[in-house]
Amino acid sequence: MKNRTLRGDRLHIGFFGRRNAGKSSLVNAITGQAAAIVSDVPGTTTDPVYKAMELLPLGPVVLIDTAGLDDTAGELGEERKRRAGRVLSRTDLALLVVDAREKNFAFEEELLARLEKEKIPVIIVVNKIDLEMGEAAAKWLAGRVFLRVSAVSGMGIGELKRRIKEIAPREWEPPFVRDLVHPEDVVVLVTPIDLGAPRGRLIMPQVKALRDILDGDAVPVMCKERELRSALAALKQPPALVVTDSQVFPQVAADLPESIPLTSFSILSIRQKGELGQMVEGVRAMRDLRPGDRVLIAEACSHHPLEDDIGRVKIPRWLNHHVGGGLKIDTVPGFDYPDDLEKYKLVVHCGGCTLNRREMLRRQRIAAEHGVPITNYGVLISYLKSVFPRALEPFPEMARLFASRKRKTDRDMARRMAGMTEI
């Protein structure tokens, strides 16, 4: 049976190094198949190659074969290097592949510095074990921990896999929902069946919630929004949590007693993939949004827009209704933001279910560096539909954020009152 673990939920292992250091051969040796094209011609690998697999005993991973860091073939070579460097933003563990005959290690030093800055664990792999190590390589490797392998004969590959397991991050993502409930708790998942629901299947966040609840030994109950009241009435005790599609927030909130915690799949997704607090702070930009302002809708994946698409139709419509119309809204799918990000008053990001956590955090960091507030679909919709902050109550970290903000507001008010008294 084909493994269905999502790419964004897998440990990302990036292979970096010079052209013809043997990166592609090493990927093939680890996977046991021709996952990457191998050639003696330098620069054979152009775009990064992603290979999803089970790397036992570690589990589901994505191996990423990149172009050579020393590619000098004009503008095309620079673009290959740029794309290889961009892979760092989604790399959880790096393999730096070194040719034992190399005489200059400036590229390797630069990469190690970047990896250290990004706090990415790295394994130095000296490929082509059958070749005698050069004096320059021996000098550069002195005092460093490294492994010698042969991608052709397979020597050292088993030890490399064991080393990967040893230093790979144990938890590269927080749980999706199971940390919010206890074993045997009932969790109701409200899953509308609309144009966005694939025929015969559930969407990614719904599947993840279902599996995570089961992993936490809790009891999932699924229903559509129209059957929520019936589902609640059939339960012997109230559910510990209700998770809904953001688009039906108002209807679900109206049918759900205030005593029952409520949130959305999109909010759970961004909490797992990124920093929820920054998204919550970002929605405050809505208070200052005016007609004529620019808003960026950022979609992590490319998909065929639907008739009433959430990111391209509904959210723009709701935003314009909120400010009285006239917003200039751009939609950008994929991994990259526009170069002129600073022109936007707000970034509205999807739940990021196809991204890994490192990539989502990078995207949030870029927005912060450009001084642009960022929020996500679920948080924004809860605000626009008047379900904010109820949708955030299940998260203890948000309760602390709100409490801290209230204390600051109280202090500011006290200072103003003190100043007025003095006057």
Q: What is the mean pLDDT of residues 406-417?
A: 52
Residue 172 lies in a domain: no
Whether pLDDT at 328 is above 60: yes
Same domain, 403 and 390: no
| End residue of a domain, out of 240, 268, 296 | 268
Number of structural domains the chain divides into: 4
* 128 and 254 co-located in one domain: no
Cα diameter, the chain:
85
pLDDT tens, residue by residue, 65-118: 987 766 555 555 566 666 666 788 889 999 999 988 888 898 899 889 989 988
Task: Identify whether residues 131 and 162 lie together within a single domain.
Answer: yes
pLDDT score recorded for residue 44: 47
Residue 2 counted as domain residue: no
User: Would you state the structure tokens that stand for residue 361, as one six-digit string?
Assistant: 């955090």
Closest CA to 226 of 252, 200, 253: 252
The domain that holds 256 is classified in CATH as: 3.40.50.11420
Put simply, whether the predicted model's pTM sits higher than 0.85 gets the answer no
pLDDT in tens, 338-388: 999 999 999 999 988 888 898 899 999 999 999 999 999 999 999 999 999
DSSP character at residue 87: G
The verdict on residue 98 lying in a domain is yes
Please, what is the Cα angle at 25 between 93 and 111, to 5 degrees? 40
| Domain-ending residue, one of 135, 167, 199 | 167
The Cα 289–Cα 216 span in angstroms is 41
Tell whether 115 and 262 lie within a shared domain: no
Task: Quick: pLDDT tens for 16-57.
Answer: 988 888 888 899 898 887 544 444 444 444 568 888 888 877
Question: Is residue 69 domain-shared with residue 147, that is, in the same domain?
Answer: yes
132 and 49 housed in the same domain: yes
Of 167, 202, 236, the residue at which a domain comes to its end is 167
Co-location of 144 and 236 in the same domain: no
Give the residue-averaged pLDDT of 167-185: 88
Which residues sit opposite 263 in a β-bridge?
243
Q: Based on the fold, state whether residues 104 and 213 are members of the same structural domain.
A: no
pLDDT (0 to 100) of residue 133: 86
Three-class DSSP category at 324: coil
Do both 261 and 353 map to the same domain?
A: no
CA-nearest of 94, 97, 82, 68 to 11 is 94
CATH assignment of the domain containing 139: 3.40.50.300
Please tell me whether residues 257 and 372 are part of one structural domain: no
The CATH number that applies at residue 385 is 3.40.50.11410
Average pLDDT for the chain:
84
Helix (H) or strand (E) holding 378: helix 377-384
What is residue 1's predicted lDDT score, i.e. its pLDDT? 35
% of the chain residues with pLDDT over 70: 82
Q: Is residue 389 part of a domain?
A: yes
Q: Could you tell me if 418 and 301 lie in one domain?
A: no
pLDDT of residue 305: 63
Query: Is the same domain home to 147 and 195?
Result: no
**Residue numbers of the domain that contains 213:** 178-268
